[in-house]
């Protein structure tokens, strides 16, 4: 029997319940967003990328990023570092937060990370990837995983060498964003690189890059043979992508919609209303973890994404970007939903049900 595209992943001492991941995204994957992603079908989530050096030095803001949300049973902590001694000094504090796994970032293209010798800079030194993984894997039984890129640039495509170094160092799973550091997030992801790693490595390989729809996730799994997929930008403003992908990968193969109407426009409107309602619920969860000014400020980028593709969305976003309180957001969203969809925000929020 053909293996299901949706399945659990077994790591040493840890079973991940499914193969749909929320990527670690600096400035995005905080407790509230991870909670929303889990509600709507993400099987496993990572913290924002955190500095091993800052952890070792006791930086409180960095430590706060490693805390679990209220209902978070499993969590991956992703760290960036350049030297094995940083791993050793940071590990006791990391273990204090009981992560399900520890992920080493070897792919971040941001200059302030790269200039420290961390992130994608490590793609230029696979032997250092080996040393970092070896130091951590020999010091803890928690699975150590690694996220890499295709290479530094087009003349240095060395994901195979980097992948082998990570596994030889003791990595239990490998993620790959199939772009080079020079590409950043531009151009096209090279899925053939994911396929090659999945074929050659004895550990699960998780693919990332250009996953903006459930169909793209299904295509990646089918075309590359990777063990799972990792949504990044495709999940921002659209956490329903996890639930819809899980549905598409099921035997039935249908994408769950918020409305079963045969009228395509009615079904589309219901989907938009649901997405915006989730965005407002997301704001409420941010307020649960942060003070109002901070939560409202940080939600601007999320709500900008949640409202993408909506009627008169530019005008809506302009209004939302001026909000500094929950009440301001509530009034604007209520007026918008009432005007464009004849829907009451509170009534829409009340029966919010992830299973629907």
Would you please indicate which residues are annotated as catalytic (active-site) residues?
108
DSSP state of 203: S
> Is residue 145 within 8 Å of residue 104, measured between CB atoms?
yes
Question: Which structure tokens are listed for 34?
Answer: 């991870």
DSSP state of 323: -
> Is residue 245 within 8 Å of residue 216, measured between CB atoms?
no
> Is residue 169 within 8 Å of residue 137, measured between CB atoms?
yes
DSSP-based three-state secondary structure for 348: helix
Residues 6+ apart with CB under 8 A from 29: 22, 23, 37, 45, 46, 47, 48
Of 97, 89, 40, the residue nearest 68 (C-alpha): 97
Distance CA 116, CA 86 (A): 12
Question: Which structure tokens are listed for 326?
Answer: 């929950």
Distance CA 173, CA 279 (A): 32
Which conformational region is residue 170 in: left (phi greater than 0), alpha (psi within -120 to 50 degrees), or beta?
left
Distance CA 49, CA 336 (A): 35
> Is residue 79 within 8 Å of residue 51, measured between CB atoms?
yes
Distance CA 12, CA 264 (A): 46
Q: Is 202 exposed, middle or buried (0-12, 13-18, 19+ CB in 10 A)?
A: exposed
Distance CA 110, CA 101 (A): 24
Residues 6+ apart with CB under 8 A from 345: 277, 280, 330, 333, 334, 337, 338
């Amino acid at each position: 029997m053909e293996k299901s595209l949706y399945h659990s992943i077994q790591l040493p001492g840890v079973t991940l319940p499914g193969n749909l991941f929320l990527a670690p995204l600096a400035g995005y994957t905080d407790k509230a967003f991870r909670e929303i992603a889990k509600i709507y079908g993400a099987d496993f989530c990572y913290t924002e990328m955190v500095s091993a050096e800052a952890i070792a030095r006791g930086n409180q803001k960095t430590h706060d990023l490693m805390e679990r949300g209220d209902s978070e049973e499993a969590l991956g902590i992703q760290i960036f570092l350049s030297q094995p001694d940083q791993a050793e000094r940071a590990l006791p504090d990391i273990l204090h937060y009981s992560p399900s796994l520890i992920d080493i970032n070897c792919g971040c293209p941001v200059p302030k990370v790269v200039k420290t010798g961390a992130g994608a800079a490590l793609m230029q030194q696979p032997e250092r990837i080996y040393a970092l993984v070896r130091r951590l894997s020999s010091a803890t039984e928690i699975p150590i995983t690694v996220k890499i890129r295709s290479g530094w640039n087009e003349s240095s495509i060395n994901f195979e060498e980097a992948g082998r170094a990570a596994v030889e160092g003791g990595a239990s799973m490998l993620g790959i964003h199939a772009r080079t550091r020079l590409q950043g997030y531009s151009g096209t992801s090279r899925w053939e690189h994911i396929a090659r790693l999945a074929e050659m490595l004895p550990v699960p390989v998780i693919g990332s890059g250009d996953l903006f729809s459930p169909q793209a996730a299904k295509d990646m799994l089918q075309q590359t043979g990777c063990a799972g997929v990792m949504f990044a930008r495709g999940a921002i403003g659209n956490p329903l992508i996890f639930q819809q992908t899980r549905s598409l990968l099921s035997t039935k193969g249908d994408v769950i919609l918020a409305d079963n109407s045969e009228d395509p426009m009615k079904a589309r409107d219901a989907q938009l209303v649901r997405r915006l309602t989730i965005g407002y619920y997301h704001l409420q969860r941010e307020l649960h973890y942060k003070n109002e000014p901070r939560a409202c400020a940080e939600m601007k980028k999320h709500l900008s994404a949640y409202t993408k593709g909506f009627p008169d969305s530019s005008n809506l976003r302009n209004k939302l970007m001026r909000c500094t309180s929950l009440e301001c957001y509530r009034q604007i969203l209520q007026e918008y939903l009432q005007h464009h969809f004849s829907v009451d925000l509170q009534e829409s929020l009340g029966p919010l049900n992830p299973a629907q």
